[in-house]
């Protein structure tokens, strides 16, 4: 009897309006939750595009010099923690570099065919958001560096400055690609510092090779945007070198191979390393063929091909030390 009265009271305490109110509130909650999830997904997607995580080629090209340096510095046996920190750090700092690059180029990108759909240029990410993402990525990278020795931590401040300042160089110098090389190559002395707590002469030879390598492949990249850059007043080595671009890059590629040979001699590396350099030299010749007509699509292919250059050099090192 008591149970029956309770059920009766529950049924009578809710009228039709109450049920409609509950249904309405539930519907609003579901819709609001769905909108929040969709917005969160959209923001995450835009931030990933801003950081170029959909284009890992940049991560790989930046990673190879770090791996070269770690393998040479450790004679083929890098500290696992150092290796993990550098691999994750490369991903974070490359992403941070892309974000600050788009922030710096926010007034230029809408006028360039290749970049007009980037998140900031297309108005999908605000400049304030981009700066927050940049700072967050840098802090995460710095958190990783704190696991390493004091020398590496000290050098990381120089790396952060180079990464943050590079995008603005194309406004003031004809050699922004060289500055990019200085920034990208900074992983080399940092790797030696992390592994040896020292930066020996061989590190600086490798560093110079990486600086010149970045100058070459980023010039190939800049050749794609050369016409647009001339219109909007952006400076680049592709413009500076003019009709001598292929010849200058060919000379630089020879110097790069020469410097890497010097690294091998200084470290007493054997035939697998030099076989890797031979493959890398062959890839350089192939890149020259790709850019011969200065066709934009083929210039971009030449840029992408540099990933295999980096892999060839590393594979030679890896096999060399593995056979010892």
Rg (CA), the chain: 26
Residue 42 lies in a domain: no
Taking residue 191's Cβ as centre, other Cβ atoms within 10 Å add up to 29
Most distant CA pair in the chain, distance: 100
Dist CA 71 CA 153 (whole Å): 20
Q: Which domain holds residue 229?
A: 57-322
Closest CA to 304 of 316, 286, 319, 317: 286
Predicted local distance difference test score (pLDDT) of residue 18: 61
Least Cα distance to 100 among 137, 61, 152, 141 occurs for: 137
pLDDT digit string, tens, across residues 216-259:
999 999 999 888 888 888 899 999 999 999 999 999 999 999 99
DSSP line for 245-308:
HHHHHHHHHHHHHHHHHHHHHHTT--HHHHHHHHHHHHHHHHHHHHTTT--HHHHHHHHHHHHH
Total domain count for the chain?
1
Q: Tell me: pLDDT of 183 over 90.
A: yes
Is residue 41 in some structural domain?
no
Residue 16: pLDDT band (50, 70, 90) is: low
Of residues 242, 216, 214, 244, the one with CA closest to residue 229: 242
Joined together, the tokens standing for residue 50 give 């801003």
Residue 93 lies in a domain: yes
- Environment class of residue 174 by beta-carbon count within 10 Å: exposed (0-12), middle (13-18) or buried (19+)? middle
Q: What is the pLDDT of residue 40?
A: 81
Give the residue, 5 or 51, on which the prediction is more confident: 51
Query: What CATH number is associated with residue 117?
Result: 1.10.357.140
pLDDT for the residue 108: 81
Query: What contacts 164, CB < 8 A, 6 or more positions away?
Result: 100, 134, 138
Any domain includes 213: yes
Backbone torsions φ then ψ of 125, nearest 5 degrees: -135, 130
- Residue 36 is assigned to a structural domain of this protein: no
Task: Calculate ∠ Cα 162-165-168, nearest 5°.
Answer: 145
Answer whether 302's CB lies under 8 Å from 291's CB. Answer: yes
Please list the helix, strand and coil fractions of the chain in percent, rounded to the nearest 5, in that order.
80, 0, 20
Res 251: pLDDT: 98
Contact 100, 164 (CB under 8 A): yes
Whether 66 is in a domain gets the answer yes
Q: Does residue 4 lie in a domain region?
A: no
d(CA 196, CA 240): 39
- Tens of pLDDT, residue by residue over 23-73, are 555 555 554 455 566 778 888 888 899 889 888 888 999 999 999 999 999
Least confident stretch, 20-29, 206-215, 261-270, 288-297: 20-29
Token digits of residue 197? 């707590």
Does residue 26 fall inside a structural domain? no
What is the pLDDT averaged over residues 105-117? 81
């Amino acid at each position: 009897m008591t149970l029956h009265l309770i059920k009766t009271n529950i049924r009578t305490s809710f009228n039709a309006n109450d049920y409609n109110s509950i249904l309405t509130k539930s519907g609003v909650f579901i819709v609001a939750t769905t909108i929040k999830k969709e917005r969160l997904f959209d923001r995450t997607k835009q931030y990933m595009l801003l950081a170029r995580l959909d284009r890992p080629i940049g991560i790989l090209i930046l990673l190879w010099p770090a791996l070269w340096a770690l393998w040479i510095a450790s004679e083929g046996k890098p500290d696992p923690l150092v290796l993990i920190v550098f691999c994750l750090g490369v991903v974070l700092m490359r992403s941070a570099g892309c974000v600050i690059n788009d922030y710096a180029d926010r007034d230029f990108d809408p006028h360039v065919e290749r970049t007009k759909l980037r998140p900031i240029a297309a108005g999908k990410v605000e400049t304030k958001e981009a700066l927050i993402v940049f700072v967050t990525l840098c802090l995460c990278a710095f958190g990783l560096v704190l696991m390493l020795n004091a020398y590496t931590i000290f050098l990381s401040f120089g790396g952060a400055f180079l990464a943050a300042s590079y995008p603005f160089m194309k406004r003031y110098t004809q050699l922004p690609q060289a500055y990019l090389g200085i920034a990208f190559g900074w992983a080399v002395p940092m790797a030696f510092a992390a592994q040896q707590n020292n930066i020996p002469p061989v590190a600086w030879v490798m560093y110079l090779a990486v600086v010149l390598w970045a100058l070459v492949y980023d010039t190939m990249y800049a050749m794609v945007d050369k016409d647009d850059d001339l219109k909007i007043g952006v400076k680049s080595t592709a413009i500076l070198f003019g009709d001598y671009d292929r010849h200058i890059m060919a000379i630089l590629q020879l110097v790069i191979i020469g410097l890497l040979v010097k690294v091998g001699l200084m470290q007493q590396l054997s035939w697998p390393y030099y076989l890797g350099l031979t493959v890398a030299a062959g890839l350089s010749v192939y890149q020259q063929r790709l850019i011969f007509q200065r066709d934009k699509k083929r210039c971009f292919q030449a840029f992408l091909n540099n990933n295999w250059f980096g892999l060839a050099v590393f594979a030679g090192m890896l096999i060399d030390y593995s056979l010892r």
